[in-house]
A and B are shown apart, each in its own frame.
Chain A
Amino acid sequence: DTAVSQTPKYLVTQMGNDKSIKCEQNLGHDTMYWYKQDSKKFLKIMFSYNNKELIINETVPNRFSPKSPDKAHLNLHINSLELGDSAVYFCASSQEPSGGNGEQFFGPGTRLTVL
């Protein structure tokens, strides 16, 4: 009965590799997000998709490419991984329009370590 799930939970890889993180939500929400949490716990939005369409791209390097095959899934592919990509990546979803409530439901996170 997991609401927002992410795989994998941990990802350790070498610099220069390409990797993907998958996210699925079973809440029937229209909007999904990717956030990055750095080592100091600071959270920043990367992308947002509404009904499979990109609506927010917060000046993220184009090595990061989100893909939404349907509104229940939002995957994140990262090319040519760099040391600075090491972080915890959180997927989230929300029901929009939400009348401004904006409540989001978060996945458990994927800890990416680039060596």
Chain B
Amino acid sequence: NAGVTQTPKFQVLKTGQSMTLQCAQDMNHNSMYWYRQDPGMGLRLIYYSASEGTTDKGEVPNGYNVSRLNKREFSLRLESAAPSQTSVYFCASSEGWAYNEQFFGPGTRLTVL
């Protein structure tokens, strides 16, 4: 099993450009999450999907949109990238919403110039 996979691994954008970060899991998990990790701020939840067909805002959702494409895939879209969105983005999944262990992908390192 590959676990949680993310594409791309690295990306450089110019301010105002858009892009979609892709995430897929092969563990048949119901819940999926997007986090960002910044120096001094730690890991913060952007959006989550408790189950297929539902999405909700986390702590820092502004400037992002998500799509739960199916049970396996959960994408994060930046419509108009800003330098403040320079970060490392992690996708995670868990079996269920009710306090289950979360498993993380390798991350996408995004730089917005």
Are A and B associated in one complex?
no
| Residues of A bordering B, CB below 8 Å | none
